[in-house]
Structure 1
Amino acid sequence: MYRPKEGEFITIQSYKHDGTLHRTWRDSMVLKTSDHSIIAVNDHTLVTESDGRRWVTREPAILYFHDKYWFNVVAMLRSKGVSYYCNLASPFVIDQEALKYIDYDLDVKVFPDGEKRLLDIDEYRSHRRKMNYPKAVDQILMGQVEELVRWIKEEEGPFSKAFVDIWYERYCQLTHRMM
């Protein structure tokens, strides 16, 4: 499998279960690749929606993707603290074109004060019926919600303060070196 190098820019594409392109992020900087994960950053990154609408991210965000877990994590660095947006999604794949995953609608948001909220349950139920998600996918996703909540409670991986600090500092070093 293709693995981008540190400092390289990649495109990220999310799809829906039926294969339609959902959203694209251009020029996300890779901070680290390993055998199973990729850590990247978005900072004022162009995002294109499936309907053609375009917008730019507002603040730096550290991105965590894993090829075994059915979720990815976006740690948004905001003035009031770090907020997390966690997508329940297929494990990523990557090729020369983009890092790709299937977005399964359910999201967990973690606010700077630690409050957790499960989002988009109705959208998930609607798409599960419309796109005929297999029962096995439904079971995997429910188990992964539990795993994700455990990571959040135990401040594991991208939910540790050190994770955000280390990778934001690395991003600052890389951008300074490029100037």
Structure 2
Amino acid sequence: MTAPDIGTSVKIKSYKHDGHLHRVWQKTLVLKGNETVVIGANDKTEVLESDGRTWITREPAICYFHAAYWFNIIGMLRDDGIYYYCNISSPFLFEEGSIKYIDYDLDLKVYPDMTYDILDEDEYELHKQKMNYPEALDQILYTQVGQLIKWVQQRKGPFAPGFVDQWYERFLTYLW
């Protein structure tokens, strides 16, 4: 697998299990890029939904993708602290100038005090039936939810103190 070059702008493309495009973040700056980990940043980025609607992100965000895990993590810098939105997803793939992954609906929202909520379990169950997720995939995804919760509890990876702030400071050194 190839990796994006540091300092380049990439799109982030989210797909569903059946292959249809779900959502596209139009512009993310690569701060770290190799075959295993990509860390990117964006602010006030246009997002295109599958139904054609668009919206603009409200705050700066640090995006973390890892090739060995079935999740990605977005740390959003808000006035009252860092909030995390974690997508249970396939490991990322980088091709054609885009970071790509399959979104499996389950999400973990983590608050500045490191409490969290699991979101969209009903949507996951609906899509699991509709798109015939294999039992092995279901097991992988729920195992990864547990792994992600351990990262939160252990303050590992993007949840480590200073991680998001450090990468945001690096983002600010670029002319965006």
TM range (shorter): over 0.9
Name the counterpart of 1:115: 115
Q: Which runs of 5+ in 1 are unaligned?
A: none
Q: TM-score, normalised by structure 1?
A: 0.96
**Within 5 Å, which residues of 2 pair with 1:55-70?**
55-70=55-70
The answer to whether the Cα contact below 8 Å between 2:4 and 2:97 also exists between their aligned partners in 1 is: no
Q: Which runs of 5+ in 2 are unaligned?
A: none
Deviations 1:159-178 (A, max 9, x none): 01221121011101123xx6
Name the counterpart of 1:143: 143
Calculate percent identity across the aligned residue pairs. 53
**SS of the residue 1:74 aligns to:** strand
Counterpart CA distance in 1 for 2:8 and 2:131 is 35
Name the counterpart of 1:22: 22
The letter for the 1-side match of 2:37 is: S
**Within 5 Å, which residues of 2 pair with 1:65-144?**
65-144=65-144
Q: CA RMSD in A?
A: 1.0
Counterpart CA distance in 1 for 2:58 and 2:156 is 26
Counterpart CA distance in 1 for 2:114 and 2:101 is 27
The answer to whether the Cα contact below 8 Å between 1:2 and 1:96 also exists between their aligned partners in 2 is: no
Deviations 1:55-101 (A, max 9, x none): 00000000000111000000000001000000000000011241100
Q: How many residues align?
A: 176
Deviations 1:116-174 (A, max 9, x none): 00000000000000000011110000100010000000000000122112101110112
**SS of the residue 1:106 aligns to:** strand
